[in-house]
Structure 1
Amino acid sequence: MTTPIRGNVTLRVNHPISQARSFSTILLLEMWERFGFYGMQVLIVYYLIEQLGFSDRHANLTWSTCVALIYTTPAIGGWIGDKILGTRRTMLLGAIVLTLGYGLLGVPHQPVEFIFFALGVIIVGNGLFKANAGNMVRKIYEGSPSKMDSAFTLYYMGVNMGSMISMLLTPWVKDYINIQYGYDLGWHVAFTVSGFGLAIGLGGYFLMRRTLAYTGSEPDTHPLKIGKLGLVIGLSILMAFLAAFILKHETIARLFIYMATAAIFFFFTFFIYTARPHERSGLLIALILTIQVIFFFIFYQQTSSSLALFILRNVDWNFNVFGFHVFTWAPAQFQALNPIWIFILSPILAWIYTHAGNQGKDLPVAGKFAIGFMMMAISFFIYGAAAHFTNIAGKTSSWVIVWGYGFGALGELLISGLGLAMIARYGPARVGGFMMGTYFIATGISQYFGGWIATLAAVPKEMTDPIMTLPIYTYLFNWLGIAGLGCALIASAMLPIIRKLSLTSPSPKEGDS
């Protein structure tokens, strides 16, 4: 049980609800939230290009700006959860707003401005939900770092199950409805399916909500004040319109990204300056690792931008084994390879972390980050070698994408999969939600820069020959592989500094010695 004792300080005592049951409730809701988000993500860039007539550059930058906003708004949502509504309530409100946003995308025959507003609602909903869901997991496993690493890895696996299902389902729904009832309608039915999945998740949450009765932030322990709720809802509506305005204007979007970048360093400087002496070393470690996360998400953003368009234009969608055709995927379905690999690799890594922690030999988070960058480098070198596996039409084997995604997913688990655990471990508990939000700002701005890098492989509309477009993509992928190696070397060089900082902490942290 978490009982308030003074200000924002909390005390955990025994209560009849197990950690596993509380964790399961958050996991299921997050799984369905990811079902909605990724069901939309796999289609949105294709939708902007094929339905709205955007160029590669315009589509990549629009989506990257949207992702940046999606991941920067949790800083505000985390603060609302910490100080105003409570972590648990803010998470729930965010899930409801997200369901509405996907529903708006499902309205057919709407102008670009309406689509941007729907994305704005999704941005706001994610801001309210994301940081608080992660912070709830932190609160459940507070005081046990090795269990926290394992929990966040399983959390990552579970939510990727939701994304895997939606990434396979929504492209199929889109194609089926388009064939049966008209080309435009299928896109919107698929977006509606994303919202319907999250509605199922909300139903499950209400059935299991008692398992979280003892978990949350200090405001969750007090009765809900309708005035505060109304203020948050009103500001959320304004934020949705503001987000739509930013999406429409590239110059303003770029200015926003620069401001968000400055905000990260301001927040960390403020946290470090105002921190209690025993908190500073942990915050410095969190800052170093957050900078590394920024570089990781530049690579990650390629999956929904340059890599997605590469699969559309330069990959043979058929899966053949020893010359025999097994099955064929729609191009959007290839993004499901990411959660499929994460689903395979997560339990293996979770067991390794727990076993190593019990033996006192767990590798530091910083070491896992360094290995993760090496895996990302290998992933992009595989994509860069696509020209060596082409058919007569100039399209590369689908298995190139399978193995590239495999190494990329391992890198993601070692970096992004532990990013939330890193913030939970090193950030002060009294501002846990806001720290989670600051972490998401970092991931958001990096994905904008990732989208900008993806524009380096933008293909002119008149260029349709795969033989001509292939070297445009492979050139970018090989350079990203080289950049990944550089990040791995820098991350390795930072290990002694992080180890020294961890030793100055008065409370030993598992895996950091």
Structure 2
Amino acid sequence: MNFSPSAGAAQPSRASSFAVVVAIELWERFGYYGMQAVLLLFMVQHMGLGDTQANLLMGAFAAMTYALPVVGGWLGDRVLGSRRAMLLGAVGMMCGYATLALATVQVQFMTVAMGIIAVSNGFFKPNAANLVRRIYDDDDAALDSAFTLYYMAVNVGSTASTLLTPWLQNRFGPAVAFAACSAGLFVGLCMYVVRRRRLARIGSVPDFAPLPPRHAGMVLLGIGGVIGALDLVLARPTLARDCVWLAALLVLLSWAVIYRRAAAAQRPGLRMAYMLSIQGMLYFIFYQQTVTSLTLFALRAVRGQVGVGGVTLFSMSAGQFQALNPIWIMLASPALAFAYRRLARAGRDLSIAQKFMIGFSLVSLSFVVWWLGALSGGTGRVSPWIMIWAYGFLSVGELLIGGLGLAVIARYVPPAMGAFMMGSYLLAMGVAMYLGSMIANLAAIDHGAGAAVVPVGAGAYAGLFLDLAVGAAGIVAVVALLLPLARRWDRQHMAAKPEAL
């Protein structure tokens, strides 16, 4: 439901409101993915960390980044308002990337910067998604298409930054690369200020009332405390691991409490949300390889010159290979959005569970390609086309799974708990990313400070890629077995929907 102090006034169209959220999300993704493209390489090449330590630090950072939306979503729902929380998160991330630039000369600031980014993402991510959900309230078909196009649009920002920041790092150093991420958020904030009136009627209840100074002070004090705590946790790998498992346990307990307190009409939808959220989170075990094992594979075992028939077309660095993910997403998103609409008009729309099954099949195929490529490379380097085609399968799988993960919450969870449940789904993603980093360490190479440039060969990663391919195929089988149960719960949810809402 959308709240407004002037219900009779003319309001912007859904498309214009949606465009404001997409614009600031685009620049937020520019900053985040630009940072992510160079952070592991900074750790390994400039700080001299071994693979195991760097992978686990990336995993703990991802887990904390995606754990905090649980709190940020609740604060957006109940205290700050979704619009205010989104804006606070964007400002915080701008400051976090600037602090990372400082950390290149004062390394003790690195975990402080990571803490700032994690907290800020906690405010931004669930509340931006919740605004999209409120814009397209009560229109499930439009909602699926909106989230797919949303996923495509924000990947414009991540593509640009993932191509740009590794080049900046190689040419001018990591400080300039991180500073560019901060500058991107500044541009996004300026655009939001100019167009903010288009969201004037969209938000959660607190957005339409003045924010009490006492609440603002308590939130700022809490932010400072959490950043300090994260600085301590991220600097201690064992403590970080324990915190990840504790966060996962708390989410499971909160889901149990929500389900127990829910009305009977709401429970079928919650069961669907829980089952599909667990399936969706599993994708991010595989996604985490893009910023851990696959980046190191590209650094050590993939030729950077992309060519045809012996003619080099262009070159890519290890970090730039991550840009293949958003590029493929942008190419595939319009086709998928069109297909969703076409199937819906024909009355043959695929369920989200069916889309997940197809998506995991493509994920498995992507790691089969990487496995075959690694085997063929042996002790040498492989063709960059292996990366291009495998990323294509992985990215379309992401659209079918990750791109609809938030739509699961929007479709099956009552609006009153929407932001919190979106936050808890993001936490589940973070836990999966930490697991992904642990799995990436099956191919870890810890030669010390020189590890980043040692030519270890493609074959060192073949075992890991085979394990991932088999794991994804196993998930396909499980999702297929659960399809009848998913269809039953979906029917029960639709039958109870008027009463539940």
Normalised-by-shorter TM-score class: over 0.9
- The residue matched to 1:319 in structure 2 has which SS? strand
Matched, 1:167 2:153: no
Matched, 1:243 2:230: yes
Matched, 1:41 2:36: yes
Structure 2 residue aligned with 1:505: 493
Matched, 1:320 2:307: yes
1:293-332 to 2 correspondences below 5 Å: 293-332=280-319
Distance 1:13 1:68 in 2: 44
The answer to whether the Cα contact below 8 Å between 2:155 and 2:326 also exists between their aligned partners in 1 is yes
Shift of residue 427, structure 1, vs aligned partner? 1.0
Deviation sequence 1:459-488 (CA, Å, 0-9, x none): 131778977542221110011001110001
Structure 2 residue aligned with 1:406: 392
Matched, 1:480 2:443: no
Structure 2 residue aligned with 1:195: 182
- Among candidates 205, 208, 221, match of residue 218 of structure 1: 205
The answer to whether the Cα contact below 8 Å between 1:74 and 1:441 also exists between their aligned partners in 2 is yes
Shift of residue 258, structure 1, vs aligned partner? 1.1
Distance 2:324 2:104 in 1: 31
Distance 1:445 1:13 in 2: 45
Structure 2 residue aligned with 1:8: none
Distance 1:345 1:109 in 2: 37
Deviation sequence 1:315-341 (CA, Å, 0-9, x none): 000001011111111111000000000
TM-score, normalised relative to structure 2: 0.95
- The residue matched to 2:493 in structure 1 has which SS? coil
Distance 1:383 1:508 in 2: 45
Please tell me the root mean square deviation across aligned C-alpha atoms, in Å. 1.9
Shift of residue 389, structure 1, vs aligned partner? 4.8
Q: Cα–Cα, structure 1 residues 265 and 199, in superposed 2: closer, same or farther, change >3 Å?
A: same
- The residue matched to 2:216 in structure 1 has which SS? helix
What amino acid sits opposite 2:223 in the alignment? S
Q: Cα–Cα, structure 1 residues 164 and 497, in superposed 2: closer, same or farther, change >3 Å?
A: same
- The residue matched to 1:385 in structure 2 has which SS? helix
Matched, 1:452 2:426: no
Distance 2:104 2:32 in 1: 21
- Among candidates 6, 9, 15, match of residue 20 of structure 1: 15
Distance 2:7 2:410 in 1: 16
| Unaligned 5+ runs, structure 1 | 6-10, 178-185
Deviation sequence 1:205-253 (CA, Å, 0-9, x none): 0111001000000111111222211211111111111111111111111
Structure 2 residue aligned with 1:180: none
1:353-502 to 2 correspondences below 5 Å: 353-387=340-374, 389-390=376-377, 394-461=380-447, 468-502=456-490
Deviation sequence 1:421-464 (CA, Å, 0-9, x none): 11110111001110110101100001001000011100131778
Distance 2:242 2:14 in 1: 43
Moved more, 11-20 or 495-504: 11-20
Distance 1:302 1:14 in 2: 49
Shift of residue 387, structure 1, vs aligned partner? 3.6
Distance 1:312 1:421 in 2: 35
- Aligned pair count? 495
TM-score, normalised relative to structure 1: 0.93
- Among candidates 172, 193, 205, match of residue 206 of structure 1: 193
The answer to whether the Cα contact below 8 Å between 1:278 and 1:506 also exists between their aligned partners in 2 is no
Distance 1:4 1:499 in 2: 37
The answer to whether the Cα contact below 8 Å between 2:60 and 2:434 also exists between their aligned partners in 1 is yes
Instruction: Give me the identity figure in percent.
Output: 40
- The residue matched to 2:113 in structure 1 has which SS? helix
| Unaligned 5+ runs, structure 2 | none
